[in-house]
Amino acid sequence: MPSLAQKTSNANRLINICKTFDLFTDRAGTGWIGLPTANGYPEFVPLRSQKFAGWACAEFYRKFGTPIGEKALRDAQNTLYGIAAQTVKDVYVRVASLPDAIYVDLGQGYIEITADGWDTIQKPPVPFRRPAGMRPLPFPAMPFSGMLYDAFADLLGLSRDDLLLIIGWIFGAFGNTEYPILVINGEQGSGKSTLAEILKRLIDPSEVLLRSMPRDEQALAVAAANGWVVTLDNLSGLPDWLSDALCRISTGAGYSARRLYQDLEEVFAQTRRPVILNGIPELASRGDLQDRSIVITLPPISELQRRTKAAIMQSFETALPSLLSMLFEALQYALALRDENFAAKLPRMADFSLWAARACEGMSYGSGRLFLEAYRRNRENATLALLDLSPIAQEIQAFTNKNTHWTGTATDLKDKLILQCLGTPTEKTLQHMSVKAFANELRRLAPVLRQVGIAVEFQGLRKVNGIVGRFIEITDLSVFQRVNVP
């Protein structure tokens, strides 16, 4: 049995091998090491991962002809983590969008895009990792001919607005702003899954292209951490927890948990990812999710128009190198126009809409403004659809028609709405809803109602007519402020 000194010596030997490698921690405190590769660009893996342990054992045996031993490996990992903790870096998956450049990991090389052009490189200036299941993208075809819009029009056969919105969403997936959620609705057989798969293959191909609904927030966080585009397929609805989690992923949020059940130490992962959802029902049925979404409803496909999925995918794979070339050209244009403003009034997700408009302008002159117009129309239509889906929003609109200005508590308003809808299913919904839940639903609906001229303001604690309560003020803006409503 080797002595303690020999074990320590083995740990020191491994430390000496690794201490010249790139060692750092990410913002979540995970230690990383850049392992050497044949092409000269390190493979970045977590220090405490099975992949590093396997490499370390094999490398130690290759150099010294003896196993390193479990304790020596653990001691070396702890020391290397201490060295790594002195430097903090961001680690990227598939796309690194920096202020002046975009780097894309093809899985077999890298693309650098700047305002001056784009090209393949072997050593990007930032660390990338390649999770298990990540599949490569082909090298872009150079030179290219044609326009990205026309290429997608031939491939997807969508209306002008829907095509502009999808292309804008694609551009947004390579930006460093918030990422709108692409919601694809449509009846059975309308090509929802095929469209989602094409978009996933274009940006971030993987072994699992389309995922089912995750079982909990931790499973969603793991999926987001190990891929760039999160694609949830064939959803029959969205529970509230998933809707909230997707909103956080869209604009950047973290998931946290204890490292072990008996530990107080916390581990967390922060992710901001492009998301695609598809399903038959209206999926963006809550105001906060709708506010972050681009909603596309696919028309039914007639028998004369229908093609096999194999034929569609073959056409896509043939066009993919040229599509990537045109895509990178448009992103170069977006970087060159990063100070250009296309509109005096910007919609929600303003950073995304401006970035996508600049990239669209790279396809043809005027396309940026066309995208913004399509995006505004999409948001207006989604707002109207959301109001149509919400029975409480319907009752608030009917109440405001009779009471152009009203002030009272949430309890008062709930009671008045119950009297207004007696004998309808909405009455039962309100009867079973607590006052707190009713007030929370009003808060979610307030931004949507404001877009149709109804202001719902929460005034906080006040004393009115001798009664202290949290008062709500409802105002018909079209009457009191002459606001035009859609």
Give the model's pLDDT for residue 143: 57
Give the model's pLDDT for residue 483: 47
Superfamily of domain 148-386: P-loop containing nucleotide triphosphate hydrolases (3.40.50.300)
458's enclosing H/E stretch is strand 454-464
Mean pLDDT, all residues of the chain? 86
Give the model's pLDDT for residue 251: 80
**Is the model's pLDDT at 465 over the cut of 80?**
no
Detail the DSSP E strand segments found in 289-385: 293-297
Q: How confident is the model at residue 260 (pLDDT cuts 50, 70, 90)?
A: very low
pLDDT digits (tens, 9 = 90+) for 2-60: 544 444 589 999 999 999 999 999 988 899 999 998 877 899 999 999 999 999 999 99
Among the residue ranges 89-103, 164-178, 255-269, 406-420, the one predicted with the least confidence is 255-269
**Is the model's pLDDT at 104 over the cut of 80?**
yes
DSSP calls for 273-305? --EEEEESS----SHHHHTTEEEEEPPPPPTTT
Name beta bridge partners: 128. 92
Furthest C-alpha separation in the chain? 89
Q: How confident is the model at residue 316 (pLDDT cuts 50, 70, 90)?
A: very high
- In sign, the C-alpha dihedral spanning 310, 315, 318, 319 is negative
Domain with CATH 3.40.50.300 in the chain: 148-386
Q: How confident is the model at residue 375 (pLDDT cuts 50, 70, 90)?
A: very high
Give the model's pLDDT for residue 480: 56
**Is the model's pLDDT at 179 over the cut of 60?**
yes
Average pLDDT on 272-291 reads 80
Angle formed by the axes of helices 192-203 and 148-156, to 10°? Answer: 150
Instruction: Tell me the CA distances in angstroms from 380 to 34, 159, 290, one per residue in order.
Output: 48, 17, 11
How many of the other CB atoms lie within 10 Å of CB of 417?
A: 20
Q: How confident is the model at residue 190 (pLDDT cuts 50, 70, 90)?
A: confident
The pTM of this model reads: 0.83
Tokens 């292309």 found at: 167
Give the model's pLDDT for residue 267: 47
Q: How confident is the model at residue 269 (pLDDT cuts 50, 70, 90)?
A: low
